Amino acid sequence: MKLRNFLLLNLLLMTTITLRAEVKVTLLKTDYKVNPVGIDNPVPRFSWIIQSDQNNTMQESYEIRAALNPADLAKGKKLIWKSDRVASSQSIHIKYNGRPLSSYQKVYWQVRIVDNHREKSKWSEMAFWEMGKLEDATWEADWITPAWEEDREKSNPSPYLRKEFTIDKAIKQARLYISCQGLYQVEINGERVGDQEFTPGWTSYDTRLQYQTYDITAQLAQNQNAIGIVLGDGWFRGNLGWIDGRNNWGDKLTAIAQIIVDYTDGSKATISTDESWKATTGPILESDIYNGEIYDAGKELTGWSKPGYDDRNWDATNKVEIPKKILIAPEGPPVKIVNELEPLSIKKVEEGWLVDMGQNMVGWIRIKASGEPGDVITLRHAEVLDTLGNMYYENLRAAKATNTYHLRGGVDEVFEPHFTFQGFRFVMVSGYPGELTADKIRGMVIHSDMEPSGTFKCSDTMINQLQHNIVWGLKGNFLDVPTDCPQRDERLGWTGDAQVFAPTACFNMNAATFYTKWLKDLAADQGDDGIISNVIPDILGGGGATGWADAGVVIPWVVYLNYGDKMVLKNQYESMKKWIAFMEEHAGDDYIWKENRHFGDWLSFDDSRSNYMGAYTTTDLIATAYYSYSSAIVAKVASILGQDEDAKYYAELSDKVKQAFNEEFVTPNGRLVAHTQTAYTLALAFDLLDEETARKSAIHLAGDVEQFGHITTGFLGTPLISLTLTNIGRNDLAYKLLNRKEYPSWLYPVTMGATTIWERWDGQKPDYSFQKSSMNSFNHYAYGAIGKWMYQVVAGIGIDEKNPGYKHIIINPRPGGGLTSARATHQSMYGQIASGWELEGEKLTMKVEIPVNTSATIHIPGDASTVEINGSALVDSGMDYKNIDGNTMVSTGSGNYVIVTTLK
């Protein structure tokens, strides 16, 4: 009997243990990254995601510990930081507060938490970060350049640099720290180092130049070794922009590199760039971002990066004096090859082989061939075909966008360029020896390697294609900086495009570090008077255009809202204030900004009312609206940062500008002097009107949309109009704009076969003729800013400004437009958020997912008496809720919810 009771008791205990809730800490990140190597932030920040099998789970406390090796961390011994238990629900952006860090340190860390159910997690799996160079003095290396003269007015053959060295002890670990002026690829012992492209990246080179850190332990041998670096012009000295063409930051290509080897016996060795390195040229005859690459395989330097190579005929290198203080560790994601596309079709035509990749992409073609010495393959690129089915090159303007390959002959050869990229869907391959088949060609898609964070899908296939186009427009233009377009002789970091698209970008990709890196370049290039250039990094000079320069205020705010990151506000605060001061100076005492430096509502619909590229909404109205709006944002930022006097000042300034706006541009009946959709949208979206005037202006906006039956806005009005219509109670009109398939509309390009967002509403007309070739990109993400409305209104995922970073989530889908279903997901800093709905007759079923350590307010359309949550009537669910205007608002914690209601 005792044995039976014992077994029964143990069975009950086992069952209890099995059924007990479990909480787990996962996905540890340091400065947004998993196990980063080579960071230079002396106070890194930690984030993690919590998993729990219980609903309504919140973190109540956390404990972090850190050590210099895994064994000590596992034992809790010799810790360099032990936070002890901290009573807090914060699980993102927690600052390191341990022993001061030094260059090259590798630190391991763990976290455990206690939740509101009193469940304690186990210590998480170990994560680590490794410091890069924290002081200039740690660069025990020289800047070097080939000891020859070059023609500074054209693209020259790429320099090849090499050095041999000996490793005579057992290796514990080895790191390579490397940068250049230009672009580089590096090899050790015949193998490429890393998988990053376009290194060291594009920054404000005079003040900020990134270096990369590579773990090369596995590539070194305990014997003879060799390192080789090949350089390209890149953004530094290649063709860029249309002003002064080349050499924007310098006319010499230089490199700096340092290998640090840690031996198992505790000693170290350093191998660095100096004048003992040698240089020559090789097969890359020209390589230019706009024009493409010319490569002669007959000039290949076989084995050049391996030990034992005969470099006796190579030239010397010279030391160059360049300040090392400009060298910084990368903050943003590296550019990588992220996709390989197979061709959709290959067709033999008179010019050669016409290849359709099926997608307007950014990157290059990798091609395989076998031919004779002297055979030359030429690849030209285009985004679209003309009415006769021929390649359309005119919109590339002066960019040649051509890659040329001279075959070595007699062997199977593979070619892909090194320091150039193209924006294209179609490729014309001429000179190809034999038949070009699909297995011989691939499209190598590149972009900054951000983590995808959002999805959207609905019952309308054309709207789904629009979402596809938004994402691919983002991919094609997020190449270390947010560019306007990837194909023509431009490809610059236009601030206006970046400003309007940022909310949509942050939904689809984890763009936090991408933007924070770029914003530091914006601040670096900002004038002493506060002026912000129209492009960043700045090669054009001038700037200060409203809606463009406001990127310096708006984008930090967007990053803060999406990621809950106060640091970006702190980093950019002085830059923000300088921009407001610039507007104050130029608007003057009447607060109306009348200068003609502005682009206005760029490329809006009705050119007939325009004095400047379709910007028929007067620029002084737009500039004054942004003046108030940006000042109001800076007031909020100041309050968040504890700068109370500043907060008061900028709030009052915003109000003064708002009053001036009303006196100058608004009539008593709510009509604006510029009677346009953009004018009303800005006035309403930026909260420039009192309640009664706003009501009247809303009627004017809705009337204008109804009169035209379509959108008339440009770059500044388009991102805001749909949400503004929703907020004034005209969601029907917002859906009408979304669903329209004729020009101008978001779906018109879809009907024309677009696979990315176009620069113009009618880049290609219904008869397949084209808009002006001088400005007609077919990969231009600005109009893709409609994405924010699709995720927030159609699917229903929104941000609570008072609890940013999705700490508190607003779920508020508003079905309409004939759609029968929609669903979006977003990978927040806390985990996945999902909101979806399906309509069958009057029955609406919502499925909602709220991540652990967050809460949500769920707005449920329909009558509260019909609502069921997870199979129970709302009144029996134990949740807090209230009925507002026929919609039910439910407050809830984390978990998965199935909600059923009736729409009348």
Annotated active-site positions, please?
490, 759
User: Three-class SS of residue 707?
Assistant: helix
Q: Exposed, middle or buried by CB within 10 Å (0-12, 13-18, 19+), for 282?
A: middle
Q: Exposed, middle or buried by CB within 10 Å (0-12, 13-18, 19+), for 161?
A: buried
Which residue, among 562, 603, 557, has the nearest Cα to 579 in the 3D structure? 557
Q: Are 141 and 272 in contact (CB under 8 A)?
A: yes
Q: Exposed, middle or buried by CB within 10 Å (0-12, 13-18, 19+), for 35?
A: middle
Length of the chain: 904
DSSP state of 125: P
User: Three-class SS of residue 281?
Assistant: strand
User: Three-class SS of residue 566?
Assistant: helix
How far is 22 from 30, CA to CA, in rounded Å? 25
Give DSSP secondary structure letters for 251-315: S--EEEEEEEEEETTS-EEEEE-STT-EEEE-SEEEEETTTEEEEEGGG--TTTTSTT---TTPE
Give DSSP secondary structure letters for 633-669: HHHHHHHHTT-HHHHHHHHHHHHHHHHHHHHHHB-TT
Rounded to 5 degrees, φ, ψ at 13 are -65, -40
Q: Residue 63, CB half-sphere, CA atoms under 13 Å: how many?
A: 12
Say how far residue 311 (Cα) sits from the centre of its chain: 42
Going by C-beta distance under 8 Å and a sequence separation of 6 or more, which residues neighbour residue 888? 859, 860, 862, 864, 867, 874, 881, 882, 901
Cα angle 67, 70, 76; round to 5: 55
DSSP state of 435: -
Q: Are 103 and 134 in contact (CB under 8 A)?
A: yes
DSSP state of 452: B
**How do 224-232 and 821-828 pair as beta strands?**
unpaired
- In single-letter form, the type of residue at position 322 comes to I
Query: Locate tokens 């009771």: which residue?
Result: 5
Residues in a beta bridge with 178: 212, 257
Query: Locate tokens 């007939």: which residue?
Result: 608
Q: Are 455 and 736 in contact (CB under 8 A)?
A: no
DSSP state of 441: E
Rounded to 5 degrees, φ, ψ at 843 are -85, 120
Rg (CA), the chain: 29
User: Three-class SS of residue 56?
Assistant: coil
How far is 498 from 510, CA to CA, in rounded Å? 15
Query: Locate tokens 């109804």: which residue?
Result: 706
Rounded to 5 degrees, φ, ψ at 879 are -95, 155
Handedness of CA 70, 74, 76, 81 (dihedral sign): positive
Structure tokens at 763: 């880049």
Q: Are 193 and 186 in contact (CB under 8 A)?
A: yes
Which residue, among 308, 101, 138, has the nearest Cα to 224 in the 3D structure? 308
Going by C-beta distance under 8 Å and a sequence separation of 6 or more, which residues neighbour residue 267? 169
Q: Give the CA distances from residue 162 to residues 187, 200, 222, 691, in Å, rounded to whole numbers and listed in that order.
A: 9, 18, 19, 70
DSSP state of 26: E
Start-to-end C-alpha separation, the chain: 65
